Amino acid sequence: MAFSEIRYEVEDAVCTVTLHRPERLNAVTTRMLEELVAALDQADDDDAVRAVVVTGAGRAFCAGADLSGGGRTFDAEAQGAAERPEEHRDGGGLVTLRIYDMKKPVLAAVNGPAVGFGSTVLLPMDVRLASTAARFGFVFTRRGIVPESCSTWFLPRLVGMARAAEWMCTGRVFPAEEALAGGLVSRVVAPEALLPAARALAREIAAHTSPVAVALTRQMLWKLLGAEHPMEAHRLDSLGIYWTGRSADAREGVGAFLEKRPPRFPLSPSADMPPFYPWWSPRKFRP
């Protein structure tokens, strides 16, 4: 797919995806959602990419839905949807489910206002950094709709039920400092330091870790969020250690440490995932 509403670049094993409608504060459109899914597919399939950074062009991260269509903006029938209501699929949810399925870590560099989809798209990302200029808002109830992008599943797991309910039910916009205190972001930095900080973290992953081990670890963290007992983690840990412990990457990781040199991990997520992966039953999320 040719990209017109996002930018996609790869440097030093880091893919940077930039929401690129700065004249509209990167307000999201159907086209942008489709491009985001395509970009995530491309990055996940490319073994030269070790991590993904998502940011926004201009002074905003994402202002949410493009409201230029007026009061029918959220009316699926008015937008030409032909499916039955129970078959309708929220486009934002397709993006967050694709992020959830990634083998590569996804980092957010929130450079400015991030409201509506601009906040919900962050939730399945693994690390979220924010500029002091960032603002967040789950503003859906103030627009007369419910939250989207699977955010009612993700947000309570990240920040707890009470804070999630406050942010979502009030729909208010809040500053980066509150997002940091609530656990929505892990770091707040000066605007000029944001993208360098996010890319530095992504490069650290690329330079020092096994891509297969990172892919497994990322999915273990997410998939075990709903586990009923730590025994489920123990069983999965044990299976993972068995297979990764006998791999060429384990030999290289130990050898590099003992020889005090940078590692050169030979395995790739595209070809070398262990036979127990995926250990869950994948769910179809694409229409």
Q: What is the pLDDT of residue 84?
A: 73
Query: How many whole angstroms separate alpha carbon 136 and alpha carbon 120?
Result: 10
Give the helix/strand (H/E) hosting 173.
strand 173-175
Pick the closest to residue 34 from 80, 78, 98, 86 (CA basis).
Answer: 98
Residue 167, classified by CB atoms within 10 Å of its CB into exposed (0-12), middle (13-18) or buried (19+), is buried
| Region label for 13, one of left (φ > 0), alpha (ψ between -120 and 50) or beta (otherwise) | left
Q: By 3-state DSSP, what share of the chain in percent is helix, strand and coil, each rounded to 5?
A: 45, 15, 40
- Quote the CATH superfamily of domain 210-287: Lyase 2-enoyl-coa Hydratase, Chain  A, domain 2 (1.10.12.10)
Q: What average pLDDT does the segment 189-200 reach?
A: 99
Residue with tokens 């996609």, as numbered in its chain: 8
CA gap 276, 227 in Å, rounded: 18
Average pLDDT of the segment spanning 169-182:
99
Q: In a 3-state reduction of DSSP, which class is residue 250?
A: helix
Residues 6-205: name the CATH superfamily: 2-enoyl-CoA Hydratase; Chain A, domain 1 (3.90.226.10)
Q: pLDDT tens across 204-247, in order? A: 999 999 999 999 999 999 999 989 999 999 999 999 999 999 99
CA dist 223 and 38 (Å) reads: 23
Rg of the chain over Cα atoms, rounded to whole angstroms, equals: 20
Q: Quote the strand ranges of 12-96, DSSP E.
A: 14-19, 51-56
**What does the pLDDT look like over 19-65, one tens digit per residue?**
999 999 999 999 999 999 999 999 999 999 999 999 999 999 999 98
Q: How far is CA 160 from CA 43, 119, 128, 176, 230, in A?
A: 31, 16, 17, 18, 20
Three-state secondary-structure class, residue 11: strand
Where are the domains positioned within the chain?
Answer: 6-205, 210-287
Burial of 15 (0-12, 13-18, 19+ CB in 10 A): buried
pLDDT at residue 68 in the model: 74
